[in-house]
Amino acid sequence: MTSFKDILEKAQGAQKRVAVANPFEAEILIALREATDLKIITPILVGNKESLQQLCHEHTIKTNGFEFYNEEDAERTSSVCCSLVRNNTAHLLMKGQVSTATFIRACLDKTQGLRTGRLFSSVGFIETPVYPKLLGLTDGGININPNLEQKKAILMNGLELLEKLGITQPKIACIAAVEKVNPKMQSTVDAHALAHMKIPNAIIEGPMALDLALSKKACKMKGYISSVGGDADLLIVPNIEVGNAVYKALMYLADPQPKSAGIVVGAQVPLITTSRADSHETRLYSIALGVLAQI
């Protein structure tokens, strides 16, 4: 799949049940309406039922096809959503007007959460006219400063999601500031180690500076011979600061603004953790991405 249009088309008709924690944002409700109309999901809105229905009315959002699970305590909605997954009522989870920390903490709860033994990690995708395909990035949202073992888990999570999108033999760029190993720069050491692990069905290179990962012209000018350079499917960033900064820079400085989507993987089900600043379009794409990850 090379675009979010492809992802939407593939997800149509899936009608997965999505539990949404405290969805008191118009952009979320609009995205849920669109995804419902496309038969991608059946949403279960967890929160104050009367207030949610009033908010839908205020924004002229039809509620046919919506299910409501009344929960007066907003802080408990994430835990309630986890319980809906555990009893097979819901197939996916989505964050509404709760903090990401609260949402993830509920999913990580040792007795009531959705642990699998795998590391949770976020995977985002960007679609922009200046790049020939979807560009993935991980992990810019969950793991603050992962060690090598955690970076391998992040890589494996990303590869599993790429496979769900039909991307075979993906090209992976392990990002650092420079393309040579420097013992004083742990990011280069880890990137080199990742690139030399025996992981089948993927082309992994690193350390690789961001310009080389994204631009064949930069590779040519620097004399950098690479199978991944200028054609990366997924960027593995060294820490959350780099991932967050790169993702937001690509989103807010490109013209026209790229399309984007992202989910958290590693739990029993995909977790849709869009930002409060995200548009309903980004939320719709993230829902579709989560549905495909669950299939």
Percent of the chain at pLDDT exceeding 90 = 95
Q: Is the pLDDT of residue 276 over 90?
A: no
Q: Is the pLDDT of residue 152 over 90?
A: yes
Write out the two tokens for 169.
């033999």
Q: For position 277, what pLDDT does the model report?
A: 85
28 membership: H or E segment, kind and range: helix 26-37
CB distance 7 to 288 below 8 Å: yes
pTM: 0.96
Q: Is the pLDDT of residue 255 over 90?
A: no
Paired with 127 in beta bridges are 259
Q: For position 245, what pLDDT does the model report?
A: 96
Q: Is the pLDDT of residue 234 over 90?
A: yes
Query: How far apart, in Å, are the Cα atoms of 96 and each of 21, 41, 121, 139?
Result: 5, 16, 19, 21
Q: For position 178, what pLDDT does the model report?
A: 95
Q: Does residue 204 sit in helix, strand or coil?
A: strand
- Model confidence band, residue 94 (pLDDT cutoffs 50, 70, 90): very high
Write out pLDDT tens, residues 167-226.
Answer: 989 999 999 999 999 999 999 999 999 999 999 999 999 999 999 999 999 999 999 999
Q: For position 295, what pLDDT does the model report?
A: 84
Q: Spell out the domains of the chain, with CATH numbers in brackets.
A: 4-116+267-294 (3.40.50.10950), 124-253 (3.40.718.10)
CB distance 285 to 33 below 8 Å: no
Q: Is the pLDDT of residue 156 over 90?
A: yes
